[in-house]
Chain A
Amino acid sequence: MIEVRKLIKRFGLKTILRGLDFHVAQGEFVVLLGPNGAGKTTFLRILASLSRPSLGQVVIAGHTLPVQAAEVRRTLGVVSHQPLLYGDLTAEENLRFYGRMYDLQNLDARLTEVLQLVGLEHRRRDLVRTFSRGMQQRLAIGRAVLHDPEVMLFDEPYTGLDQDASAMLDDVLRNVAARGRTVVMTSHDLARAEELGSRFDVLSRGVIAASCLQQELGSSNLLTFYKQALAA
């Protein structure tokens, strides 16, 4: 579903990604781990077509970036630590706006469906600026799944969430994964990553330094694998 070959990203003289290779099969839930500044967000922004690669090839759902960026964007749902929502619009108006941007049909029925999925049906007519951080993040997920994308990208979605909101987000993420969607998520929360992910990749010094399937972890936990990957 996602094929990345020899990806290089430079900002001026600084090289962030150094020939990164990355492959994700359909239905996989890949958690991308790595220290701050490793390039996780930069990598996700390239996958999301928000940033152009300096060199290398990125193919998502059979479409090549940046040439077929519009086709790629139609297959993607993106959730970052910012909700990408308008505070002066209601929850319903925000989703309706994004639905129109994606040119969706049967929008009214779809809005109700998505608001129920993220548990915000009762707040649909409230302004987003009155929402808690957790509710905004749930609505952000609603925005991202509105067009039923094949691939979901989550950039540290737990940032700033309390325990209850994080648990709610867990449920929504499990729901998304259970529908067979391909998921790539960056996170610093190893316990949560271990619970949700089917594969764990460690991004360090601009490349994927180590990769491990959930079943390969065995008796050792993700923290041990992560430390070993960074030490190598």
Chain B
Amino acid sequence: MNRAAPRRSSTVAGSFLRAVGAIAWKDLAAELRSRELLSAMLVFALLVILIFNFALELDVKTRATITAGVLWVTFAFAGTLGLNRSMAVEKDQGCLDGLLLAPVDRSAIYFGKVVSNLAFMLIVEAIVLPVYSFLYNTNVVSLGLVGVILLGSIGYVAVGTLLSSMAVQTRTRDVMLPILLFPVIVPVLVAAVKASSGFLQGLPMNEILPWLNLLVVYDIIFIAIAFMVFDYVVEE
């Protein structure tokens, strides 16, 4: 039998990126086959959008200021479902141990899960946005809004992936994740709602920019924190 050898030209950064890519590829391939996670997130998101539409009788002016909140509440709720499910798959089948046994920096596992969770979140958002636009009679064709959704989703997934890997170790993981997550993501939700609302109302950029800055800073800080603590979170 040939002896299996690691790549000779392998650098630490190269191995790290290959591991991140492998985890993201694995999650996407498994999800494309089962469609369990995406379908649950999507159905839930569409239901929330629909329920808010019937529950809120809004005039045109109020709608412009309030619906950005509806949009982000929908993303946050649907995202929680996805984050819970994504980590539960690893825990239930014991696969988290399989990942932890790999000779790579454990933050590669975190970033791999972030990439796949972000992809799921963006797919759901891309499908929900036209429905939102139709139901709330809002024009969502705006590069600025797309940027806010991307930044907000990165912040949400960065924190959510870290906290879901903590919550999944508890017996009450389904309840635990929202309890841990929602207080921590208040800044990202507030900033995302304000910035989205600004773009939807066509406010000048100098009024939106502080919220965009807050989103960028939040993303950087929480990605850095997760990078430093993930190893301790997943270890017994």
Please determine whether B99 and A105 come into contact, CB atoms closer than 8 angstroms.
no
Interface string of B6-36 (1 = CB under 8 A from A): 1110100011001101110110011101100
Please determine whether B4 and A104 come into contact, CB atoms closer than 8 angstroms.
yes
Among the listed A52, A99, A104, A106, which residue makes an inter-chain contact with B235, where contact means beta carbons less than 8 Å apart? A52
**Interface size of B as a range:** 35 or more
A195 to chain B, nearest CB (A): 24
A126 part of interface (Cβ distance < 8 Å): no
A59 part of interface (Cβ distance < 8 Å): no
Please determine whether A82 and B93 come into contact, CB atoms closer than 8 angstroms.
yes
Please determine whether A113 and B2 come into contact, CB atoms closer than 8 angstroms.
yes
Interface string of B213-236 (1 = CB under 8 A from A): 000000000000000000000011
Please determine whether B102 and A98 come into contact, CB atoms closer than 8 angstroms.
yes
Please determine whether B102 and A73 come into contact, CB atoms closer than 8 angstroms.
yes
Please determine whether A97 and B26 come into contact, CB atoms closer than 8 angstroms.
yes
A50 to B97, CA, bound (A): 7
A101 to B3, CA, bound (A): 17
Please determine whether A101 and B104 come into contact, CB atoms closer than 8 angstroms.
yes
With contacts defined as CB atoms under 8 Å apart, how many contacts are there between chain A and chain B in the complex? 114
Interface string of A141-176 (1 = CB under 8 A from B): 001001110000000000000000000000000000
Residues of B within 8 A of A117 (CB): 1
Please determine whether A103 and B235 come into contact, CB atoms closer than 8 angstroms.
no
Among the listed A51, A78, A106, A179, which residue makes an inter-chain contact with B2, where contact means beta carbons less than 8 Å apart? A106
Please determine whether B3 and A87 come into contact, CB atoms closer than 8 angstroms.
no
A183 to chain B, nearest CB (A): 16
Please determine whether B93 and A105 come into contact, CB atoms closer than 8 angstroms.
no
A204 part of interface (Cβ distance < 8 Å): no
Residues of A within 8 A of B204 (CB): none
A10 to chain B, nearest CB (A): 12
Q: How many residues on A have C-beta within 8 angstroms of the other chain's C-beta atoms? A: 42
Interface string of B63-84 (1 = CB under 8 A from A): 0000000000000000000000
Please determine whether B1 and A100 come into contact, CB atoms closer than 8 angstroms.
no
Interface centre among A83, A103, A143 (most CB of B within 10 A): A103
Which residues on A are within 8 Å of B, measured CB to CB?
A: 45, 48-52, 70-71, 73-74, 76, 78, 80, 82-89, 93, 97-106, 109-110, 113, 117, 127, 143, 146-148, 179
Residues of B within 8 A of A85 (CB): 93, 95, 98
Residues of B within 8 A of A52 (CB): 235-236
The 8 closest A-B pairs by CB, nearest first: A82-B94, A84-B98, A100-B22, A101-B102, A88-B30, A74-B103, A51-B236, A73-B103
Residues of A within 8 A of B56 (CB): none
B5 part of interface (Cβ distance < 8 Å): yes
Interface centre among B14, B93, B101, B102 (most CB of A within 10 A): B101
A25 to B6, CA, bound (A): 25
Please determine whether A86 and B95 come into contact, CB atoms closer than 8 angstroms.
yes
Which residues on B are within 8 Å of A, measured CB to CB?
A: 1-8, 10, 14-15, 18-19, 21-23, 25-26, 29-31, 33-34, 89, 93-95, 97-105, 235-236
Please determine whether B100 and A97 come into contact, CB atoms closer than 8 angstroms.
no
Please determine whether B103 and A70 come into contact, CB atoms closer than 8 angstroms.
yes
A129 to B49, CA, bound (A): 35
Known: A50-B100, A101-B19, A101-B104. A84 touches B6 (CB 8 A): no
Please determine whether A86 and B30 come into contact, CB atoms closer than 8 angstroms.
yes
A83 to B7, CA, bound (A): 26
B28 to chain A, nearest CB (A): 11
A73 to B106, CA, bound (A): 12
Closest to A71 in B: B103
Residues of A within 8 A of B235 (CB): 50-52
Among the listed A48, A89, A102, A103, which residue makes an inter-chain contact with B29, where contact means beta carbons less than 8 Å apart? A89
A76 to B98, CA, bound (A): 12
A224 to chain B, nearest CB (A): 35
Residues of B within 8 A of A110 (CB): 2, 4
Residues of A within 8 A of B4 (CB): 99, 102, 104, 106, 110, 146-148
A118 to B43, CA, bound (A): 41
Residues of A within 8 A of B23 (CB): 101
